[in-house]
Structure 1
Amino acid sequence: MARYTGPKSKIARKFGEAIFGDDKSFEKRNYPPGQHGNNRRRGKKSEYAIQLMEKQKAKYTYGILERQFRNMFEKATSSQGITGEVLLQLCESRLDNVVYRMGIAPSRRGARQLVSHRHITVNGEIVNIPSYRLRAGDVIGVREKSKSLSVIQSALENSNNVYEWISWNSEKKEGTFVSIPSRIQIPENINEQFIVELYSK
């Protein structure tokens, strides 16, 4: 399964925000990486550079590689609605993202691992495809044998995120993907219009 496995803090510093979650290294050095650190003079970015960075930020945030992201953009383009908003909705509808949003895993990378290792069910059936696209009404749960895993229990104990488009039953350790979120409900700091402009060139 293809995924980014490189340094996370360096990428977070590149974009100037902790896109992979809490990061002590980023907090200490929240300036772009490079040999001259914070003293390096950085010229004004071109329009293309800004658009490219926004696309890369979205890809790293959701853990999606280029070909898959491009396919999602083409699907968003052929769908009804605003292309950029639909693109983010497709990203949010991925199984690994929803597992992370529900608090079952502390990060999207951790959520992807739980899904791949067959710890997660969708409507009672084990699904081990992180990119599986959920539909409104789907029930996502922790497999019975996996409910006692310390990594899952720890993540749930430390989770305090609440999303209007997701419901969670802590006793059953399962939740419902109530609806596809609107753009205003998606908390990620991504300017999707720049991504649309980049791919439309």
Structure 2
Amino acid sequence: MARYTGPKAKIARRFNDPIFGHSKALQKKAYPPGQHGRGRRKKQSEYAIQLMEKQKAKYTYGVLERQFANTFDRASRKSGITGEILLQMLEARLDNTVYRMGIAPTRRGARQLVSHKHITVNGELVNIPSYVVQPGDVVGVREKSKSVEAITDSLANNSAQKYPWIEWNKTEMNGKMIALPMRDEIPEKINEQLIVELYSK
């Protein structure tokens, strides 16, 4: 299964945003990576800014180029604001939903839990990270996996951050997606309009 396996700190420093979670490297070196990181030109072209925003969204949600392009294509065919629909579709991915529920501390960890068959949707085992969770679906931990240390530790350390579109049942170790999130409910610092402009060229 294809996925990004390169350095995370370098990507976070490129966008000056801890998109993979807390990063000490980002705190120590608040400038882009590379030989010319400190003295790099500040001014960027319009295309470069749009491309950077697309790359940031792609790395944030752990999606490869073709997957991202296909997701944008589906979003553009739906009625409504394309950028907002794009983010809703990315948020509805199973690996992202598992991460939002606190079952895994990172999206990369959530992807691994899904791939290793620890997660169910409506009681059925699903091991496809890109599976699209629909409003009303119940995502939970497989019965045999409820004692897995990585899962119990993540839930124990979870700051119980609540997302208005998710309803979590601590006892059953499952959660329901109540609705697709509105744009102002998604905490990611992504300017989706720049992505729309990039693909509109």
Same fold flag (TM > 0.5): yes
Q: Which residue of 2 aligns with 1:157?
A: 156
| Distance in 2 between residues matched to 1:179 and 1:98, nearest whole Å | 12
Distance 1:26 1:43, change over 3 A: closer
Query: TM-score under structure 1 normalisation?
Result: 0.98
Q: Which residue of 2 aligns with 1:80?
A: 79
List alignment gaps of at least 5 residues for structure 2.
none
- How far 1:163 sits from its partner (Å)? 0.3
Map 1:66-145 → 2, pairs under 5 A: 66-145=65-144
Distance 1:41 1:130, change over 3 A: closer
- How far 1:37 sits from its partner (Å)? 4.0
Q: Which residue identity lines up with residue 33 of structure 1 in the other structure?
A: P
> Which digits, 9 at most, give the CA deviation of each residue in 1:108-147, with x for residues without a partner?
0000000000000000000000000010000000001100
Query: TM-score under structure 2 normalisation?
Result: 0.98
> Which digits, 9 at most, give the CA deviation of each residue in 1:79-110, with x for residues without a partner?
01100000000000000000000000000000
1:5 aligns with 2:5: yes
- How far 1:157 sits from its partner (Å)? 1.0
Q: Which residue of 2 aligns with 1:180?
A: 180
| Distance in 2 between residues matched to 1:15 and 1:71, nearest whole Å | 23
Q: Which residue of 1 aligns with 2:48?
A: 49
Q: Which residue identity lines up with residue 167 of structure 1 in the other structure?
A: E
Give me the CA root mean square deviation: 0.8
Q: Which residue identity lines up with residue 185 of structure 2 in the other structure?
A: Q
| Structure 2 counterpart SS, 1:154 | helix
- How far 1:26 sits from its partner (Å)? 1.7
Q: Which residue of 2 aligns with 1:34?
A: 34
| Distance in 1 between residues matched to 2:30 and 2:3, nearest whole Å | 25
**What is the aligned-residue identity percentage?**
67
Q: Which residue identity lines up with residue 46 of structure 2 in the other structure?
A: E
User: Which 4+ runs in 1 deviate beyond 3 A?
Assistant: none
Distance 1:43 1:23, change over 3 A: closer
| Distance in 1 between residues matched to 2:117 and 2:56, nearest whole Å | 28
